[in-house]
Amino acid sequence: MNDGLFPGPSGEKNRDPMKRAQELSKRELPRKFYKDVSVKKSDSGYAILLDGKGVKTPARHQLIVCSDQIANVLVEEWKSQSEFIDPATMPVTRMINSTLDGVEKARSAMCKEIGRFVGTDMLFYRASDPKRLVERQKKIWGPVVSWIEGLFEIHVVLIEGIVHQEQDLLFLEKVEQYANSLSDFRLAGLHVLVTLMGSSVLGLAIAEQFLSADSAWEIAHLDEDWNSELWGSDEDATERRNKRTLEMRAAALLLKFGH
């Protein structure tokens, strides 16, 4: 008997419904249609080829990147696909597609958003207690704040608690101008990093190589790690963070090599 919910042989309806849903979802993915993945260098950049033919983005742009470092990662992502092509396992490809298809038109809005983010930057909002958390924030966040003050020759207003206080508008303008000076690829990487970490300062620290991407990522999760130490880690939260870590590293790759 087939109950219509889990089609298949009679015994299949008793299978784990979550697992069944995952299998059905995977069937909707496109099947892998190629055998060989390669890179072709030209004056316009590094094109990704599948069985010798160029790949196109969803908006029909050629999948061409500006550096061999990014191209090599794209090749590995396409090579790693098995029976189906799963975009969830291809963070750099997805980010490149978004960059080629949308950053040029969205550049002004993205730069403004990065500038606005620094007005409420996570690193500027400090705990008032407990003492150990206050000291940890001061020790770990303090040097990064001092660095950004020196970079833009501004003074940061530190806030105890969550009540918003304005930062110097010139600071926001300088950050926006910095973002606008970047190439499309680097801007895309910075924008994703700022969004993921809730901090323009940490994104800029990666851009200027003051911090490695992994170090900045750890700093961004100081409060979350503090709570985990007190109350234990949550399995779902850990899985989400692991997925976001892949996105972070993809964005950091664009920021570093997207000249």
Joined together, the tokens standing for residue 252 give: 């950091």
Amino acid 30 reads P
Quote the CA–CA distance of 206 and 92 in Å, as a whole number.
Answer: 18
pTM of this structure: 0.87
**Short-list 152, 190, 188, CA closest to 172:** 152
Please give the helix or strand (H or E) that residue 148 lies within, else none: helix 131-152
Residue for token pair 């038109």:
105
* Count of beta carbons in the 10 Å neighbourhood of residue 252: 22
Task: Name 2's Cβ contacts closer than 8 Å, sequence gap at least 6.
Answer: 8, 10, 13
Tell me the backbone φ, ψ of residue 97, rounded to 5 degrees. -55, -45
Query: Is the distance from CB of 134 to CB of 128 less than 8 angstroms?
Result: yes
**Those residues with Cβ within 8 angstroms of residue 130's Cβ, 6 or more apart along the chain or in another chain:** none
Tens-binned pLDDT, residue by residue, of the chain (259 aa) = 333 322 333 444 445 544 544 454 555 899 999 999 999 999 999 999 999 999 999 999 999 999 999 999 999 999 999 999 999 999 999 999 999 999 999 999 999 999 999 999 999 999 999 999 999 999 999 999 999 999 999 999 999 988 888 999 999 999 999 999 999 999 999 999 999 999 999 999 999 999 999 999 999 999 999 999 999 888 888 999 999 999 999 999 999 999 8
List the domains of the chain with CATH numbers.
Answer: 37-89 (3.30.2180.10), 96-257 (1.10.3580.10)
SS3 159: strand
